[in-house]
Amino acid sequence: MRTYDVFVSFRGEDTRNNITSFLLGSLESKGIDVFKDNEDLRKGESIAPELLQAIEVSRIFVVVFSKNYASSTWCLRELTHICNCTQTSPGSVLPIFYDVDPSDVRKLSGSYEEAFAKYKERFREDREKMKEVQTWREALKEVGELGGWDIRDKSQNAEIEKIVQTIIKKLGSKFSSLPKDNLVGMESRVEELVKCLRLGSVNDVRVVGISGMSGIGKTELARALYERISDQFDVHCLVDDVSKIYQDSGRLGVQKQLLSQCLNEKNLEIYDVSQGTCLAWKRLQNAKALVVFDEVVNERQLQMFTGNRDSLLRECLGGGSRIIIISRDEHILRTHGVDDVYQVPLLDREEAVQLFCKNAFKDNFIMSGYAEFADVILSQAQGNPLAIKAVGSSLFGLNAPQWRSAVAKLREQKSRDIMDVLRISFDELDDTNKEIFLDIACFFNNFYVKSVMEILDFRGFYPEHGLQVLQDRSLIINEYGIIGMHGLLIDLGRCIVREKSPKEPSNWSRLWKYQDLYKIMSNNMAAEKLEAIAVDYESDDEGFHEIRVDALSKMSHLKLLKLWGVTSSGSLNHLSDELGYITWDKYPFVCLPKSFQPNKLVELCLEYSNIKHLWKDRKPLHNLRRLVLSHSKNLIELPDLGEALNLEWLDLKGCIKLKKINPSIGLLRKLAYLNLKDCTSLVELPHFKEDLNLQHLTLEGCTHLKHINPSVGLLRKLEYLILEDCKSLVSLPNSILCLNSLKYLSLYGCSGLYNSGLLKEPRDAELLKQLCIGEASTDSKSISSIVKRWFMWSPRLWYSRAHNDSVGCLLPSAPTIPPSMIQLDLSYCNLVQIPDAIGNLHCLEILNLEGNSFAALPDLKGLSKLRYLKLDHCKHLKDFPKLPARTDLSYTFLLPILGRAVELPVWGFSVPKAPNVELPRALGLSMFNCPELVEREGCSSMVLSWMIQIVQAHYQNNFAWWPIGMPGFSNPYICSVIPGSEIEGWFTTQHVSKDNLITIDPPPLMQHDKCIGVAYCVVFAAHSTDLEMVPPETERGYPVMGIVWIPVDVHEDVVTDKSDHLCLFYSPTYIGIGDWKLKVKIMDKKGFPVEVKKYGYRRVHEEDLDLEPSLNTAGIRKRKRGTDE
């Protein structure tokens, strides 16, 4: 419905041809939208519905009181309706006293008294009419008492000008001329932009830029802002499409547009730029001006106006002036010396639904039966207004089957109208940056920036400059060090790659879909233009077949190759010598082609391959930085890698036939990461040079290794040495414990070492953060001595899984537990009592008491930093722990993510896990398999309260959540496991699980949903299941499958409590679900599916954190398997 700025109530025969006519003309000349009635509407006894509706959609009301105003029942009914509509904003009613004394209106005297005397006589027999007359009296008194204009004996022109200026000022905080249908999501953005302009600062000239991706509504936003604030300036102009004006008429054309609007001279004659500059100085000097330049695409177009802080407009215009520049390129804005840049955000879900409904249904809601189609479309549009409007408009008036067909088509063929607009930004890029854009669109969305930069540098694309250009032009974003690209831009890039030969992938430069790869390979096509292949097989791809890879031998320009999950066969006679990155899991051949020259190779990842040896002779490998051959069970030898002087990463875990390591490995000075885990045949290590950069050495599970080469003890940069389960190991170099850089030493399962005397005297362990020992099969007195000495020497140590009775006897009797202890692991120590001193460890963050025999815990309320408490398999535990209030968030994450100093594989998938992942970076409580606590009422509410407190503390202190890996839904940030089967009512959405999945629906349509995170509660079975993994899938366009790993093992033999358990976890919105539907699979810590029975979740808003949940457990009623104690 149309809205109006002003509604004027007047008595026509008194004022239509004088004051009212002049007032309406003046308002219209200022661009103010005024409701105009006509005589036909004012005929009859009842007021016309059109007038009532006009009042309801107007913002300002002007009431012109004249001598005969009260004689019109029509006018009085108008006035009464105005009063009813403005009860909360009386300031929007402006009375004008034309030829009547204001006191006559307030007191109903004079002609007004006469009019009401006639009404009394006329309606004295009609009680309902008399009630209405009384409302007229009240309305006149109410409006008559408002401050207004008494224009008797005054100049009407002067008074009308004052009235119009007052109206303009009141409308200045409203939208005046744009219809509401075009303002979806605009008001909040205008408010943010107004803050950037700092209109209250009247002494400076401020320049603000507006930027954002194509189709996001930059111009619409600027126009809405212009309409709102332009009346606050002496002069104002909006130069539309500067780029086109500049292209057609050069700088002079832009100058003419500016001056003709500011000076309000349509036929302004300017013949050269110098003349225009002089005119600007003469006519605009010291004027308070608002100037908007739209669609600026290069620096030259505005150089004469805004080039620097001494430029024409800054110097010429008066204090309080504002200049707004709209450009897709943020670099241009910075060049023009802007003080601030406003990045226009995408629409949120509520706004997106609202805009879609207005275009697809011409209404405010989604029609019944169309919701599933709307969800798919909105998911694909991802909040881009242009896409939402274009697709919505194209669907208007179609029936459901036509919608279904159109949505299916949109998945394969994107709207040309949308692609054409987005294409403008791409066409403005230079050739190199176009290549970067296409690489990201085809391969690198959601990749680490550092990884992408390395690959683009190899490609010769100057990534530091190129990525900044793409970011400046809103073509990519960089958040948390990860590159993101909008889905529509990804579609654009892939359309551009395909456009010259849509049905012939052999002519493309890049390949990313399995079906296209299969077409090329099955027809043995040459594909000479192909430079990059990255295919991740998805289990829901239709028509999956084994691929013959013979055609790879013909791709002479191939630079990037990734075949992940693709079953391949055939023959491979050659690989392109241009290849720099190869990832090929399950590589089927026993070696690489003999003709392959890897002199450009940077990264080679052949996990789970059939390879026996890479090559025979020494190869030029000066560019090789990472080599991954993990789980290649037939690998029997490594080649001479002496030429690989830049090798940093070597992963050979699971190579079970590998007996020796080529001596050349010990000479590679840049080697930082060496993983030999589960190389069960390995009997000998090479000699390592003392000046190696080796930081991480994993020998876990090397069961035939008896001795460690003494040179390991001389590796001055070694930080992580993992020797777990080296069961044959009988000696270590004494020099190992003198390594000042060593932070983590794991000897868990190395039973042969405990009599060696190595650990009897501790070194200066200031740097050592973790010592893992345990499962000693001999000399328990020796291990007791070891633990005691190290425990007292370095309070920052972490003791892991010491399976030994004597340790349980030792710790309670220790005179003092160091108060600076940060992580303490006393799992499986046969403890029947926990020392009270633990409650005084104010620095303690992680406490693992798993597998002990105590019945109660000491008071833990003083542990304000405690973030993780593990009590799994404490089968005698009866009392629920008293959890601390969470106030201190200064965590010390002792295990840094590997790869900050050591480069991870950037093209492959082999990412190492930090040692001892059982104690995660997540926060929470785990009480799995504690049968004495089964069905304890109140446990879940206590844990929920603790979780809310943690979230509250993070939110109120603006504490950043720890970024875990790639964006997605994997490890929750707070996760607790406790016995129980009932979900707290606080979780507002509860369901029985279907297909063993959690289905998280988007917020209700049209519902405002600004949540800060999502909390979940899952009831799961605490026993092994034969459930199969549900493969990732896509349902109706949703990005369906996520996985959450919970920190328990439901398949352990020691699980005796088969009753149900609860898992409560929380994730901030940016790493969990957003606005779209998601399905989540729950896995245990070893990757086995967990049987989900039912679940609940709640979107957490800021107001939810105002709760002050009690952590008092005294009132919890104890129950054991349904029996009251």
Q: Which of 209, 224, 475, 223 lies closest to 342, judged by CA?
A: 209
Q: Which of 771, 780, 763 lies closest to 800, judged by CA?
A: 771
Residue bearing tokens 């890698």: 641
Residue 820: both structure tokens together: 């600076």
Strands across the sheet with 235-239, in order? Answer: 235-239, 289-293, 322-326, 206-211, 340-343
Query: In terms of DSSP bridges, do strands 340-343 and 581-584 run parallel, antiparallel, or are they unpaired?
Result: unpaired
How many Å is the Cα radius of gyration of the chain? 38
How open is the CA angle 24-26-28, to the nearest 5 degrees? 70
Structural contact between residues 152 and 15, judged by C-beta atoms closer than 8 angstroms: no
Which residues lie closer than 8 Å to 996 by C-beta, 6 or more apart? 1027, 1030, 1081, 1089, 1091, 1092
Helix, strand or coil, per DSSP, at residue 440: helix
Structural contact between residues 933 and 979, judged by C-beta atoms closer than 8 angstroms: yes
The amino acid sitting at 543 is: G
Whole-number Cα distances in Å, 818 to 794, 799, 811: 8, 14, 12
Structural contact between residues 925 and 869, judged by C-beta atoms closer than 8 angstroms: yes
- C-alpha 365/C-alpha 349 separation (Å) is 13
- C-alpha 703/C-alpha 562 separation (Å) is 33
- C-alpha 972/C-alpha 955 separation (Å) is 16
Backbone CA torsion sign across 37, 41, 42, 48:
negative
Query: How many other C-beta atoms lie within 10 A of the C-beta of residue 239?
Result: 23
Structural contact between residues 625 and 647, judged by C-beta atoms closer than 8 angstroms: yes
**Got the DSSP string for 516-532?**
HHHHHHHTT---TT--E
Residue 577: both structure tokens together: 């010598």
DSSP state of 34: B
Structural contact between residues 299 and 336, judged by C-beta atoms closer than 8 angstroms: yes
Catalytic residue selected from 45, 78, 351, 845: 78
Structural contact between residues 1108 and 952, judged by C-beta atoms closer than 8 angstroms: no
- C-alpha 1054/C-alpha 1050 separation (Å) is 9
3-state helix, strand, coil in the chain (%, to 5): 35, 15, 50
Query: Is 161 one of the annotated active-site residues of the chain?
Result: no
> Residues of 517-540 as b/e, b for ≥16 C-beta within 10 angstroms?
bbbbbeeebebeebbbbbbeeeee
Structural contact between residues 902 and 648, judged by C-beta atoms closer than 8 angstroms: yes
- C-alpha 391/C-alpha 380 separation (Å) is 11
How open is the CA angle 21-23-25, to the nearest 5 degrees? 70
Looking at the annotation, which residues are catalytic? 78
